[in-house]
Amino acid sequence: MEIISCKACGGDNWQSVLETKDYLHNIPGLFTIARCTDCGFMATNPRPDEKEIMAYYPEEYGPYQLNTARVEKVVAHQKKYPFLFSLVDPQIFRIGREKCANCELRVLEIGCGAGNFLYELRLRFPKWKLVGTDFSVRSIEKLQEKGIEAYVSDLKVLPHNDKSQDIVYGFMIVEHLHKLEQTLGEVKRVLKDDGKLVIAVPNIKSWQFRVFGKYAYILHIPAHLYHFDEKTLTTVMKKNGFEVESMTYHRTLQDSSFSLCNAIRESQLPESLKSILLKIFRWRTAYHFLTLPLAYIQAWTKQSPGMTAVLRKSS
């Protein structure tokens, strides 16, 4: 285990917020989420070091599963019902459409896992020159089998020329990076001057953290090393040479069904009732659309469990 200084202000004064464990894979270990008393930045601290953390990325980890049939189905549905999709669009693709949907843009995804997102990009923007990187060897092999350029790396060094990439995507990855500054430095180097960094991260200011506490799905302890809100994310990115152009709060309550399932599993309810409740809350499509009005209120009040930031290089 290792103790870190604050990534936002550099301070070393931490206050424990709560202790929790890995509810995603139930791997043993108890971890502390702490808040910097100087600036409010939150982190898993102490945290497993780079070798220890590997135990918390098992083969069955969700992002390591490439499901091209599911991605194809989703994209087909979205093309068929563009209005419905626009209601829940997390704005991940907006910057692509704005920059140029039909140009040969160079697009890199860091922490691409098995490449579900890259595969979706290929379906949406077939002319783009896509490349992905991740530290999971098996995941990268799966992606290469699908004919998408990808390579294994620890994200500390990106083997691309200076100012060569139009867009760098980091979908739920920044909060996983042990060498955060090093990776962001590399992203800044490889991005063109007018390039965009598009990231999505969990939002610790979400109501879900206040309601579900240690069971909140967004915590994903200990793989999530940092627990951002808009203010601390903006500060950390600025410190590393990026300005936030826009911040979009996600219009979905789906994560809350995962948090509910965590709480139900750990509860003292009878096993038969637990089983029924888990079945209900796992029916995600229905849950997604039934809770849409609430999801809009959640986004409007900046209470969403996830947020997407579009960033440019600081001048």
- Taking CB under 5 A as the criterion, the residue among 9, 55, 277, 294 binding Zn ion is 9
Residue 8 interacting with Zn ion (CB under 5 A): yes
Q: Going by C-beta distance under 8 Å and a sequence separation of 6 or more, which residues neighbour residue 270?
A: none
Could you identify the residue written with the tokens 């008393």? 37
How many Å apart are CA 150 and CA 130, to the nearest integer? 8
Pairing of strands 306-313, 191-202: antiparallel
Q: C-beta of 294: minimal distance to Zn ion in Å? A: 33
Binding span for Zn ion by CB under 5 A among 29-37, 122-130, 236-244, 294-302: 29-37
Binding to Zn ion by CB under 5 A, coded x per residue (else -) over 154-193, reads ----------------------------------------
237 touching Zn ion, by CB under 5 A: no
Number of residues interacting with Zn ion: please give it, by CB under 5 A: 8
**Long-range pairs of 128-136 with CB within 8 A, sequence gap ≥ 24:** 128/96, 128/103, 128/104, 129/104, 129/105, 131/106, 131/107, 132/108, 133/108, 133/109, 133/158, 134/110, 136/57, 136/64
Do 288 and 254 form a contact (C-beta atoms < 8 A)?
yes
Can you tell me which of 1, 11, 87, 283 binds Zn ion, judged by CB under 5 A?
Answer: 11
- As a whole number of angstroms, the distance between CA 283 and CA 273 comes to 16
Answer for which of 34, 36, 118, 131 binds Zn ion (CB under 5 A) is 36
Minimum Å gap between C-beta 231 and Zn ion is 11
Binding of Zn ion by 41 (CB under 5 A) = yes
293 is a site residue for Zn ion (CB under 5 A):
no
Q: Is 39 in the site for Zn ion (CB under 5 A)?
A: yes
User: What number of other Cβ atoms are within 10 A of residue 31's Cβ?
Assistant: 22
CB of 9 or CB of 292, closer to Zn ion: 9
Which residues sit at the interface with Zn ion, rule CB under 5 A?
A: 6, 8-9, 11, 36, 38-39, 41
